[in-house]
Amino acid sequence: MMAFQEKQLPADAPVSAKALNWIDARFPLTSTWKAHLSEYYAPKNFNYWYAFGSLALLVLVIQIVSGIFLVMHYKPDASLAFNSVEYIMRDVPWGWLVRYMHSTGASSFFIVVYLHMLRGLLYGSYRKPRELVWLFGVAIFLCLMAEAFMGYLLPWGQMSYWGAQVIVNLFGAIPFIGPDLSLWIRGDYVVSDATLNRFFSFHVIAVPLVLIGLVVAHIVALHETGSNNPDGVEIKAKTDANGIPLDGIPFHPYYSVHDVFCAAVFLIVFFAIVFFAPEMGGYFLEANNFIPADPLKTPPHIAPVWYFTPFYSILRATTSQFMYALEIGVVAYLALLLVKSKLSGKVKLGATIVAAVALVGMFIFDAKFWGVVLMGVSVMILGGLPWLDHSPVKSIRYRPSWHKYVYLVFGIAFVILGYLGVLPPTEGRTLVSQICTFIYFGFFLLMPWWSKMGSFKPVPDRVNYHPH
């Protein structure tokens, strides 16, 4: 065990220096500052895509602080919840501002996180050695979805109540345990006061604690491996005599100032929405949610908030007719794995067994169950990206030009799924969502083949950087 040591300072040293020395002897304040800011060397060719991680952290702080003030006046009681929100909006000084900051922050969080994930997708930030960074990020995304879903119930408006009813009832489609699982989640046979109380406790305590822990783990893992960059070049491969990357610059003050500027621009847009368009035409706050929850009156069209709608569209696209196309797709993908992949015999055997079980299950269980499965898999498949992408280069800059169109088609399909999820289903819209569902899953499942096809450009030994 190391003996306690406190650095000796001159008697005339400033009081601030003595105080910092006293803290450093008992807590790694200065070393943490150096490790994660002033002596954390980031690639010098960062662009504005790399600001979204810091913006996500900013929105997290906004959500926590605004949430604390909302909890001071909110009543997690089915008979009082809606009126308590109205009380916050009308009678609490600046309550309307805090509430709109929190609701706008929820949508802003997903906008920033989606763009953050898009940057990782384009520049291959999930590739070795950052697999764990990416997995922590996917876990953060899942926590964020759970947090948003539970928070959406709390205003106890019509869309809150019936949206929760629809989503919780989906768990009832799970064979054998579904009804009991739905009952356990609700805490009652219908969405009621018990549901509101448990969702409230998870929303304000349990999930935020997990979310903050995952954010810390995400940042620590990132700073351990180092940041990726638009060229996909590992800057730690070339260092000077002191071990400092030749293409790296300290995060503080260079990128901290950069992020402060981006945060200022973001806050201007954020508060413009808060003050002038907090409902955003019904996408951020729906009109039906300003009506108290009524278990006896179902809204004509129930849809989740916009950030869930791409996955909700995949759920709705899974009809009994769609199951035939899904069965053909499973058989075709298994044939592709067996014929065109270089997997070992054991892995191919395992894939055959999984496909066989899935095909049998498609005959036994109904389309509703498989819709829930596909909706869940559509999120979880993001975690497999580090092992699905077999491209010899990381960044899209050095991939074949046609790869950009693959990403573009995937992005368009994702946006269409999101848009269709807001609208009432029709036969034509269902068909389009089914096509987009195949495109969505095809992007990931066919990635082991298309990601290594074409002529790749040579990756430079060092990052491309042009001073400005």
- Residues 134, 173: Cα–Cα separation, whole Å: 31
CB burial readout 17-54, b (16+ within 10 A) else e: eeebeeeeeeeeeeeeeeeeeeebbbbbbbeebbbbbb
Angle 95-123/401-422 helices, nearest 10 degrees? Answer: 150
| Residue at 267: amino acid letter | L
Instruction: Return the beta strands (E) in 156-277 as ranges.
Output: 248-250
- Could you give the angle at the alpha carbon of 115 between the alpha carbons of 111 and 118, nearest 5°? 140
C-alpha distances (whole Å) from 113 to each of 36, 120, 186, 217, 447 are: 21, 11, 29, 17, 23
Other residues' Cβ atoms within 10 Å of the Cβ of residue 405: 10
Answer yes or no: is 223 a known binding residue: yes
Residue 421 contacts residue 304 (beta carbons within 8 Å) = yes
Tokens of 80: 């009082």
Cβ partners under 8 Å of residue 297, min gap 6:
158
- Residues 274, 405: Cα–Cα separation, whole Å: 36
390: phi then psi, degrees, rounded to nearest 5: -105, 15
- Residues 458, 448: Cα–Cα separation, whole Å: 20
Q: What DSSP line would sit under 129-153, residue for residue?
A: T-HHHHHHHHHHHHHHHHHHHHHHH
Of 175, 207, 200, 221, residue with least CA distance to 53: 221
Of 124, 140, 133, residue with least CA distance to 218: 133
Cβ partners under 8 Å of residue 367, min gap 6:
318, 319, 320, 322, 323
- Residues 218, 143: Cα–Cα separation, whole Å: 13
Answer yes or no: is 102 a known binding residue: yes
Residue 227 contacts residue 50 (beta carbons within 8 Å) = yes
Residue 299 contacts residue 162 (beta carbons within 8 Å) = yes
Binding residues for heme b: 102, 116, 203, 218
Binding residues for a ubiquinone: 223
Binding residues: 102, 116, 203, 218, 223
